[in-house]
Amino acid sequence: MDSGFEWNALLEFAKSQSHACILLSNGFEDKYGKYEIAAGFGAKTITNSLEELTWDHSMFGFLSYDLKNHFENLKSENNSWIEVPEVMFFEPELHCYKARSGEVFTNFVLPELPHDYFDNLRKPKSPEWIFSDRQDYLNSISDIRNDIENGTYYELNFCTEWKAGNASEFDPYMAFYYLNTLAPAPFSAFIKWDDNYLLCSSPERFLLANNDQIISQPIKGTRRRQSNPHMDAEAKTELMTSEKDRAENVMITDLVRNDISHFCIPGTVEVEELCGVHSFSHVHQMISTITGKMRPETSVQDIISSMFPMGSMTGAPKVKVMEYIEKYEDFKRGLYSGSVGYLEDGRMDLNVVIRSLQFNNRNKRIAYHTGGAITYDSIGELEFQECLDKASGMMAIFES
């Protein structure tokens, strides 16, 4: 890559902009992806309306989890640690795209990094986190398993919140530098608007719509990476052969197939890969790929209203479990379980917001979330440990 378009140079440039979005693939192989890097800065226009998003837009932005209430008779009445709009997309004044072919498309000259940039890098100090009580978590898992045994639903994605209100020394730019260096992921994202920041190290694509094709790649199933190669291989094999994880993944794959069938030509929806195991910096993940051919004139709203929020972050059946998520979780998810991405010339590529920090620089609040799919076979202690495993990559960016 041209040294002038290294991602950390884009991150440094974002400091001077009111709005910024940097999307990174970090060199991961992706036969569907168009760009290694897609970034936009400044805002010609801003919209908070899903109805204003069309295929001829070139925009960056996000959908928050609570957009679900726009499509179903649902509510979000829990407290919000960091308030975000349901939708925020902006048309950038400046843009930079680096294609997978290596070609760079930009309408500005990016300033070079200061010569001492790397000399001044320091991990941010960890705030004083408040996390869910272990016993409260185990009690919730027991209640969810009882619901499943009683036939209320089949699978529920239960999440927990880590939060701090004393993050006065937190530097979101430095934090994202370390996050993307220590835990690179194929759908990483840095987004800034006004006093708000999202730092995302996501391995998961929510959807890619390109011309008449739709692709979704849900993740269900996680094992922590091991430093010992033999033990790491065993962890990967354990995930590949786990009946529980495979059952979770298959259930969500079926849910996604149903979601996209609402706007696809009958007979074109296919599962291209089922329960494939892929490795990332801190975890192994089980991923499936579902594709379909969209009907002519399918709109952005048709896709989002049928698919959002993603089944991998809700469970099945989707509407019923979202009602119970509101019951068992004591916080608004906000951007967590939402999506960040771009629209450009008939193409829409959106991630799943997991492995992410939300930060508000005005009130110095910071939040991080972890979770997992709960089925009848779930063991509370193991689910709690999985939350800690998923948090390990994020916590590595702090000094302590």
The predicted-structure confidence for 44-63, as pLDDT tens digits, reads as follows 999 999 999 999 999 999 99
Q: Which residue has the tokens 């890619």?
A: 208
Share of the chain above pLDDT 70, in %: 98
Q: Could you read off the pLDDT of 249-305 as tens digits, one per residue?
A: 999 999 999 999 999 999 999 999 999 999 887 789 999 999 999 999 999 999 999
Give residue 390's pLDDT: 82
Of residues 296, 252, 294, 297, the one with CA closest to residue 271:
252
pLDDT at 275: 96
CA–CA separation, 160 and 142 (whole Å):
15
Look at residue 3 in the predicted model and tell me its pLDDT.
Answer: 40
Q: Is 204 a catalytic residue?
A: yes
| pLDDT of res. 5 | 60
What are 39's strand-pairing partners? 22, 96
Q: What is the rounded average pLDDT of the residues 348-376? A: 95
What span, in angstroms and rounded, lies between the C-alpha atoms of 372 and 387?
Answer: 7
Q: What is the pLDDT of residue 325?
A: 98
Higher pLDDT, 198 or 222: 198
Token code pair at residue 77: 């009445």
Q: Which of 220, 318, 332, 390 is catalytic?
A: 220
Model confidence band, residue 391 (pLDDT cutoffs 50, 70, 90) = confident
The CA-atom distances, in angstroms, between 116 and each of 1, 102, 227, 252 are 21, 27, 32, 48
Structural domains in the chain?
3-395 (3.60.120.10)
Q: What confidence score (pLDDT) does residue 282 get?
A: 76
Angle between helices 243-261 and 300-307 (to 10 degrees): 140
Distances (CA, A) of 330 to 11, 47, 324, 359, 363: 33, 29, 11, 19, 21
Average confidence (pLDDT) over 154-158: 95
The pLDDT of 324-333, averaged and rounded, is 97
Q: Is the pLDDT of residue 200 over 90?
A: yes
Q: Please report where in the chains the tokens 């991602």 appear, as a residue.
A: 7
Measure the N-to-C terminal CA separation of the chain; round to a whole number of Å: 33
What pLDDT sits at residue 224? 84
Q: Quick one: pLDDT at residue 327?
A: 97
Q: Given a cut of 70, is residue 176 above it in pLDDT?
A: yes
CB 348 within 8 A of CB 339: no
Q: What is the pLDDT of residue 2?
A: 41
Structure confidence at residue 113 as a pLDDT band (50, 70, 90): confident
- Give the DSSP H or E segment for 39: strand 35-41
Q: How far apart are CA 66 and CA 308, in angstroms?
A: 10
Structure tokens, 21: 């979005």
How confident is the model at residue 281, as a pLDDT?
76
Among the listed residues 204, 248, 383, 386, the single catalytic one is: 204
Record the pTM.
Answer: 0.93
Q: Is the pLDDT of residue 318 over 90?
A: yes
State the chain's mean pLDDT as an integer. Answer: 93
The kind and range of the H/E element at 291 are strand 283-293
244: annotated active-site residue: no
Q: How confident is the model at residue 6 (pLDDT cuts 50, 70, 90)?
A: confident
- Cβ atoms 153, 372 nearer than 8 A: no
